[in-house]
Chains A and B, each alone.
Chain A
Amino acid sequence: MSLTGKTIAELRSGIRGGEFSAREVAEAYNATVAGAKALNAYTVETPEDALAAADAADQARGQGGSLAGIPLGIKDLFATKGVDTTAGSHILKGFKPPYESKVTENLRKAGAGMLGKLNMDEFAMGSSNETSTYGPVISPWRRSGSNVGLTPGGSSGGSASAVSAHIAPGATGTDTGGSIRQPAAFAGICGIKPTYGRCSRWGIVAFASSLDQAGPMARTVRDCAILLEAMAGFDPRDSTSLDLPVPQWEANLSSDLKDKRVGIPKEYRIDSVPAEINALWVKGIEWLKDAGATPVEISLPHTKYALPTYYIIAPAEASSNLARYDGVRYGLREEGVKTLDDMYAATRAAGFGAEVKRRIMIGTYVLSAGFYDAYFTKAQRVRALIKQDFAKAFEQCDVILTPTAPSAAFGIGETTDPLAMYLNDVFAVPASLAGLPAMSVPGGLDGQGLPLGLHLIGNELDEQIVLNAGLAIEERAGFTARPEKWW
């Protein structure tokens, strides 16, 4: 098998055992990255960075960290010292942070190198990667017999496309309301969002701080566990970072689900969802039963209010977080206007794209005098009810199984209505609002040959059951389909 066909676990043992060098791995990946421009997955390529980490790993001769010599793709939302970090936005073009995000610092300490920065929806606001200032990422997948360009989902679309096309063995993603899980489902890969607070937000460009959480995207459940262990950990610089030891998720992986109860929420059964997706969900239940688990029907009564709650809270937080882009301290500045106020307004008009402006406007409106209680405080109250729904459900079950997304990947430009786009995250958003760990694993292909994902939600801090149930599905789904190379 070619080096780029191997999982991170296989690369790790191959490098440690001297079967191949880390330099060979980095060179193989650098070549595939350079040859995949048509996917528009990378915004910056950093082949030297990958090679330097590889050489360090080769010198350490198997004594390096858990990711020694593994080259990774890094979502453009993570600050990387001296390397362009733009969050897919024109307003940050040319921004080179003088510091490194905690998550990428942790990955580097574990020995990982960086292949480059990965394209994404502008400020992580989008479900199709079409809001990026660099243009949309293209999925390596195509419908059978068609060459229509499909979205890899979003906002971590570059990460999904890169891992799926084997131009990265793994990548970082971030998830505010589904931005790891929906693209993972669209691209036929795995992705996990841990409990809110597991990964430090320090050095991640902020979107909605009460929801933003980093996580890994990779080809297998085991690779996700390896990456998450390296990414997570307490950081005093993030006030919501959890001061807890990082569990040994990889060592504790087990697909034996004996005595585990799998909650099946009846509110996730939606008529408008294609039958194939509900059929895969039923298969997922069978697979988990086969692994020893007992399915139980549960109710999450406030599910239908999760999306509208999210679309008050996330834009409100975003409007506040994005106030910092003022043309003074970093990024774009529009010249040719007379006053300071005009400079702010002109810079933000030129720097932000349509979706970001829309969300800042919504956020500003729901936070404005006279509307704050009716919208923002109300949404925070409903968020409390959504959190309570999950707390009650986890008295009856250990893990929850649902579909990841209400459709397979769609074509670039096919969804133009903002509300229709928001509905992509209908199954992903409730777990985000509740801060819970959740994962997407590939379950199979639809009738058009496109991947569909299954979604697992665990209780607070219980990433292990999510990974274990994910592993049980992975072992039984036998998902080996690959997109045919056209790029």
Chain B
Amino acid sequence: MSVSHDQARHIAKLARIAMSDEELERLVPELNAIIGWVEQLAEVNTDGVEPLTAVIEQKLRLRDDAVTDGNIREDVLANAPEAQHGFFAVPKVIE
């Protein structure tokens, strides 16, 4: 399968990365080279093989459903590019 210019534009949109047509032009052959190469996995017979999700077998631990931290608003906001009135500020989303 190969990625078209339009598909690449769509992927960039999904990934929320602004890209000019020139950038996409450069990227498309690179993506296709990588995708073409990983497609060799198709030749591996994986019938009946469960997808690996945990590389080292272990039980997922449960913890009590309790608040374990909090009251650190200043810490949470300390690195925000813009914080106002104790909140993260973003460009206006509602007119």
A interface vs B, CB < 8 Å? 94-99, 195-197, 210-211, 236, 239-240, 242-243, 302, 305, 308-309, 311-312, 319, 323, 326-333, 337-346, 348-349, 352, 357-358, 360-362, 364-366, 368, 371, 374-375, 377-385, 387, 418-419, 433-435, 460
Q: Is the CB of B34 within 8 A of A418?
A: yes
Could you list 18 further interchain pairs (A-B, Cβ under 8 angstroms) beyond the known A99-B75, A339-B93, A361-B31?
A210-B55, A211-B55, A312-B41, A328-B80, A330-B80, A333-B82, A345-B17, A348-B17, A349-B18, A360-B17, A364-B14, A365-B3, A365-B31, A365-B35, A375-B38, A381-B49, A383-B52, A384-B46
Interface size of B by CB at 8 A reads 50
Q: Is the CB of A236 within 8 A of B12?
A: no
Top 9 nearest A-B pairs by Cβ distance?
A: A380-B51, A435-B55, A333-B81, A330-B79, A381-B46, A349-B18, A384-B52, A98-B75, A345-B18
A195: which B residues are within 8 A, CB to CB?
A: 56
Q: Does B40 interact with chain A (Cβ within 8 Å)?
A: yes
A234 to chain B, nearest CB (A): 10
Q: A343-B91, A381-B46 are in contact. Are A242 and B56 (CB under 8 A)?
A: yes
Q: Is the CB of B46 within 8 A of A332?
A: no
Q: Is the CB of B30 within 8 A of A329?
A: no
Q: Does B63 interact with chain A (Cβ within 8 Å)?
A: yes
Question: B17 is contacted by which of A352, A380, A383 (Cβ under 8 Å)?
Answer: A352
Q: In the complex, what distance in Å separates the CA atom of A197 from the CA atom of B50?
A: 22
Question: B19 is contacted by which of A349, A381, A387, A434 (Cβ under 8 Å)?
Answer: A349
Q: Does B42 interact with chain A (Cβ within 8 Å)?
A: yes
Q: Is the CB of A197 within 8 A of B56?
A: yes
Q: A361-B31, A364-B11 are in contact. Are A380 and B91 (CB under 8 A)?
A: no
What's the count of A-B pairs with C-beta under 8 Å? 165
Q: Is the CB of B63 within 8 A of A381?
A: no
Q: Is the CB of A360 within 8 A of B15?
A: yes
Max chain B Cβ within 10 angstroms of own Cβ: one of A360, A365, A383, A418 = A365
Residue on B nearest A213 in the bound complex, by CB = B55
Q: A378-B46, A381-B49 are in contact. Are A348 and B38 (CB under 8 A)?
A: no
Q: A98-B75, A305-B40, A345-B17 are in contact. Are A197 and B58 (CB under 8 A)?
A: yes
A330: which B residues are within 8 A, CB to CB?
A: 79-81
Q: In the complex, what distance in Å separates the CA atom of A79 from the CA atom of B49?
A: 38
Q: A240-B58, A377-B51 are in contact. Are A327 and B81 (CB under 8 A)?
A: yes
Question: B11 is contacted by which of A94, A329, A368 (Cβ under 8 Å)?
Answer: A368
Q: Does B60 interact with chain A (Cβ within 8 Å)?
A: yes
B13: which A residues are within 8 A, CB to CB?
A: 345
Q: Is the CB of B52 within 8 A of A96?
A: no
Q: A242-B58, A308-B38, A348-B16 are in contact. Are A236 and B91 (CB under 8 A)?
A: no
Q: In the complex, what distance in Å separates the CA atom of A278 from the CA atom of B13?
A: 46
Q: In the complex, what distance in Å separates the CA atom of A380 from the CA atom of B46?
A: 10
Q: Is the CB of A239 within 8 A of B60?
A: yes
Q: Which of B5-47 contact A (CB under 8 A)?
A: 8, 11-19, 27, 30-31, 33-35, 37-42, 44, 46
B42: which A residues are within 8 A, CB to CB?
A: 378
Q: Is the CB of B44 within 8 A of A331?
A: no
Q: Is the CB of B91 within 8 A of A337?
A: yes
A368: which B residues are within 8 A, CB to CB?
A: 11, 14
Q: Is the CB of A381 within 8 A of B50?
A: yes
